[in-house]
Structure 1
Amino acid sequence: MTTTEKHEFPIARTCPFTPPPAYEEIREEEPVSRVRLPGGGWAWAVSRHEDVRTVLNDRRFSADRQHPDFPQLVEGEAASRRPDEDRLLVEMDAPEHRPARKAVLGEFTVRRLAALRPRIQEIVDGQVNALLAGPKPGDLVEALSLPVPSLVICEMLGVPYADHEFFQEHTAKMFKQSTPPEERQAATGAVRGYITDLVTEKEENPPDDLLGRQIVKLRADGTYRRTALAGMGFLLLVAGHETTANMISLSTMAFLRDPEQVALIKADPGRTLNAVEEMLRYFTIIDLATARLCVEDIEVGGQQIRAGEGVLALGYSANRDPRAFEDPDELDIERGVRHHVAFGFGPHQCLGQNLARMELQIVFDTLFGRVPTLELAMDVDELPFKDDATVYGLYRLPVTW
């Protein structure tokens, strides 16, 4: 049994295309390893694809971040723990989690998302127009990657897009690893306070947007609580723009680095969805699928994990596991697999995953179809990658055409 911690989390990326060597070391030599946590203490790091899916899908692993023994991935995280009634959806276990998730799941059905497609296409076209009308080189992050998902999630939630700079600025502080704990808590509190005020405004005359429909539905069910809906809105707003924005930037960079891949989807747009899945697997912008707390003794990957011990599910390592993916370090947009864990797995799998897929598909088909001469305006080695953020991506992506 392992008794020492060889690695400390988080482990920084040093290359956008190759995972840190520590991930392969852990996965191949000791797939369930003890690792040090930034706030002190230790947790089990689970690194193989099959084992990560086990952790994410087994009720013996709790998502309750309010529990005092839950592994702290950010220094000072314990100080920000909230009362039980203010728990977010990602912090809930059964039986509370299922009805809370089900209440909002209808907003992300295939039918409702299909109705959104023309509007998303309109948003993407508008931002591509702005890129082409702007200076050369242009910054794809500023012109396309951030505005598209921000506009989409703002319209869904009924958030004024005029406030996007406010929540983008505070979200960046929340995800930057070097942000002091008190600043991170203040940024989180500011965005949650903003959403709470917005929900309060909508209560008197609920509009036909996601938050307004939830107010009406939950009131009819007798389960409406302002803090719970504000927490849901907070999660959707933060996750709904930050993750997709980074995927747009990284994927576009990868496409432009390898024109043959772009040529494949130009020749057959039917390949784009497979390309989206491969980009999601390949980059896995959130290294840790999530953390969990073991609440009942269980064996995973040959290692006994005891109740009260923390567990980190290493999604990036799992998505590069050769046991699950042939030649996992190769970017192959024709791979056509969807069993990656970029969106998590099990009951907490990402609510907005199909929305993200749709946005990425529309962006790639539109961008490469309308700007066939698009190319990088800076060497990849010089690009400012988010090596210091919990969600990997690019701060800027200079392009020309």
Structure 2
Amino acid sequence: MSGHQTEESTTRGPQPSGAERAPRPQSLPVERPGPVDLPEEFRRLRTELPVAPLAFPDGPPGWLVTRYDDVRAALADPRLSSRRPHLNSHVRASLITPDEMATLRPSDLLTSDPPEHTRLRRLVSGQFTARRINQLAPRIQDIVDRHLDVLAVGPRPADLMTAVSLPVPSLVISELLGVPFTDRDRYQRLTAELLSLDRTRDQLLASKAEMKAYLLHLIHAKRAEPADDLLSGLLQAQATGTAPTDDEIAALAQLILIAGHETTANVIGLATLLLLRPPRLWDTVRRRPELVDGVIEETLRYATVLQFGLLRVAREPLTLAGQPIAAGERVVLHLPSANRDPVRFTDPDHFAPQRPDAAKHLSFGHGPHHCIGDQLARIELHTLLTTMLHRFPDLKLATDPDRVPTHTHRVIHGPARLPVDFTP
């Protein structure tokens, strides 16, 4: 789909005009009725105001895009830039100046446009190869088995997030990237701090500075003693004249480290919650393991972990679904709402592991910024869910499924804790 097809290809039904098109900007809806439910307001917005005026915590208002076709087209539209002063400015006032951001973390795959984005993505994709990921498959199985062994003999009820969901992808991404797993407490703490929306300016600056210093130390160590890992590969590219700076490598490593374990960990927790809550689909999928891949795609669609959407800035004037967008205005592409659009997905508020088109979700993005680690995530999720279903046939929730605590003040949605029980 061309990035310049947004108006013609995404408009459906009569569009509001005049005063009806410009109601007062409202803040982003964030209050969830339940752990895996979206704020009810998105149903109305998709129908009545698919490109809605959005109040930002700082600066002038922008726009909120909620329908699947509009979001998908906008993700591929080069007129919408990924460059912005702060990743989370539509849900939190910017605490850090653009100059401070540039010093602490230069552009990465999330916050750059071509040709810079093309150069950086080529550097990472050259290391994030199918060969390297396939080589990890037996190791992923071993990591899963060892953590489930500990779960099986540990105290019950157990917190699945602490025991399995977080450490498994953390160890996998550590090995791929070349980060010592013995440092997991430090980088998991830093990840939680960087994704949190309730940090003070001083706290956020300190976390960013500590993460950068930690990664630069690793880069220097890898330069002295390279290995068969992604960090060493990026340094080798630097030595051959591709010229990623140490700061750029640190920024790429931070993105991969955070995205590579935090998102997968929460998808694991959400998938388990969805299978164990009534009507207990866990038993159905255990009897039919061929449904596991469907469970993964449907979880990614139904319970999208990037809960506040993606922020873009208009490089030039454009029209999106009949709504004029001025150059410089901010646009939020709400992936969770798009993935619940009834025009694209039949009965979208129903979790259906056998949904034939679940993989059309936008949780990994679309266009130039499509997630480069999607296949690694799928391998991890398939291995862990398949093994858990086999080893823990009577796994059950040890809490009310409607009261599972979730990350309400973090960029990534998922269970904060997931108590489970089973027969040893």
Task: Name the TM tier (shorter chain).
Answer: over 0.9
Unpaired runs of 5+ in structure 1?
none
- Residue 38 (str. 1) matches residue 57 (str. 2): yes
Deviation per residue, 1:332-386 (Å, 9 max, x gap): 0011321111111110111111111111111110011111111111111332222
- Residue 376 (str. 1) matches residue 397 (str. 2): yes
Question: 1:267 deviation in Å?
Answer: 2.3
Q: Distance in 2 between matches of 1:199 and 1:14?
A: 44
- Residue 28 (str. 1) matches residue 47 (str. 2): yes
Give the conservation status (yes or no) of the 8 Å contact 2:128–2:230: no
TM-score for the superposition, normalised by structure 1? 0.94
**Residues 381, 84 of structure 1: alpha-carbon distance in 2 compared, 3 angstrom cutoff:** closer
What does 1:232-251 correspond to in 2, within 5 Å?
232-251=252-271
Q: Distance in 2 between matches of 1:112 and 1:66?
A: 34
Give the conservation status (yes or no) of the 8 Å contact 2:35–2:405: no
Give the conservation status (yes or no) of the 8 Å contact 1:275–1:336: no
Q: Distance in 1 between matches of 2:65 and 2:338?
A: 9
Deviation per residue, 1:313-332 (Å, 9 max, x gap): 01011000011101000000
Question: 1:144 deviation in Å?
Answer: 0.2
Amino acid at match of 1:256: L
Amino acid at match of 1:75: A
CA RMSD of aligned residues (A): 2.0
Give the conservation status (yes or no) of the 8 Å contact 2:96–2:205: no
What corresponds to 2:11 in structure 1?
A: none
Deviation per residue, 1:150-197 (Å, 9 max, x gap): 000111111111111111112212222222233123212211221111
Which SS does the other structure have where 1:33 is aligned?
Answer: strand
Q: Distance in 2 between matches of 1:237 and 1:167?
A: 8
Question: 1:72 deviation in Å?
Answer: 5.0
What does 1:299-338 correspond to in 2, within 5 Å?
299-337=319-357, 338=359
Which SS does the other structure have where 1:86 is aligned?
Answer: coil
Which SS does the other structure have where 1:366 is aligned?
Answer: helix
**Residues 249, 85 of structure 1: alpha-carbon distance in 2 compared, 3 angstrom cutoff:** closer
Amino acid at match of 2:37: T
**Residues 110, 271 of structure 1: alpha-carbon distance in 2 compared, 3 angstrom cutoff:** farther
What corresponds to 2:185 in structure 1?
A: 165
What does 1:143-182 correspond to in 2, within 5 Å?
143-182=163-202
- Residue 344 (str. 1) matches residue 362 (str. 2): no
Amino acid at match of 2:271: S
Higher mean alpha-carbon deviation, 313-322 vs 4-13, is at 4-13
Unpaired runs of 5+ in structure 2?
1-17
- Residue 92 (str. 1) matches residue 121 (str. 2): no
Q: Distance in 1 between matches of 2:103 and 2:109?
A: 14
What corresponds to 2:82 in structure 1?
A: 63
Q: Distance in 2 between matches of 1:372 and 1:189?
A: 45
Higher mean alpha-carbon deviation, 315-324 vs 101-110, is at 101-110
Which SS does the other structure have where 1:107 is aligned?
Answer: coil
**Residues 10, 209 of structure 1: alpha-carbon distance in 2 compared, 3 angstrom cutoff:** farther
Question: 1:78 deviation in Å?
Answer: 4.3
Which SS does the other structure have where 1:89 is aligned?
Answer: coil
Which SS does the other structure have where 1:221 is aligned?
Answer: coil
- Residue 54 (str. 1) matches residue 54 (str. 2): no
What corresponds to 1:187 in structure 2?
A: 207
Higher mean alpha-carbon deviation, 33-42 vs 84-93, is at 84-93
TM-score for the superposition, normalised by structure 2? 0.90
Q: Distance in 2 between matches of 1:5 and 1:201?
A: 54
Question: 1:223 deviation in Å?
Answer: 1.3
Aligned length: 400
Q: Distance in 2 between matches of 1:318 and 1:271?
A: 24
Question: 1:214 deviation in Å?
Answer: 1.4
Give the conservation status (yes or no) of the 8 Å contact 1:71–1:310: no
Higher mean alpha-carbon deviation, 79-88 vs 269-278, is at 79-88
Q: Distance in 2 between matches of 1:53 and 1:137?
A: 41
Of all paired residues, the percent bearing the same amino acid is 37
Q: Distance in 1 between matches of 2:91 and 2:404?
A: 27
Higher mean alpha-carbon deviation, 230-239 vs 266-275, is at 266-275
Amino acid at match of 2:50: P
Give the conservation status (yes or no) of the 8 Å contact 2:342–2:348: yes
**Residues 144, 27 of structure 1: alpha-carbon distance in 2 compared, 3 angstrom cutoff:** same
Q: Distance in 2 between matches of 1:122 and 1:106?
A: 26
What corresponds to 1:11 in structure 2?
A: 30
What does 1:278-293 correspond to in 2, within 5 Å?
278-293=298-313
- Which of 128, 134, 141 is residue 161 of structure 2 equivalent to? 141
Give the conservation status (yes or no) of the 8 Å contact 1:171–1:238: yes
Which SS does the other structure have where 1:11 is aligned?
Answer: coil
Amino acid at match of 2:390: G
Give the conservation status (yes or no) of the 8 Å contact 2:86–2:96: no
Question: 1:39 deviation in Å?
Answer: 2.3
Give the conservation status (yes or no) of the 8 Å contact 2:91–2:308: no
Higher mean alpha-carbon deviation, 313-322 vs 108-117, is at 108-117
Higher mean alpha-carbon deviation, 11-20 vs 122-131, is at 11-20
**Residues 348, 33 of structure 1: alpha-carbon distance in 2 compared, 3 angstrom cutoff:** same
What corresponds to 1:74 in structure 2?
A: 92
Q: Distance in 1 between matches of 2:93 and 2:22?
A: 23
**Residues 86, 329 of structure 1: alpha-carbon distance in 2 compared, 3 angstrom cutoff:** same
What corresponds to 2:8 in structure 1?
A: none
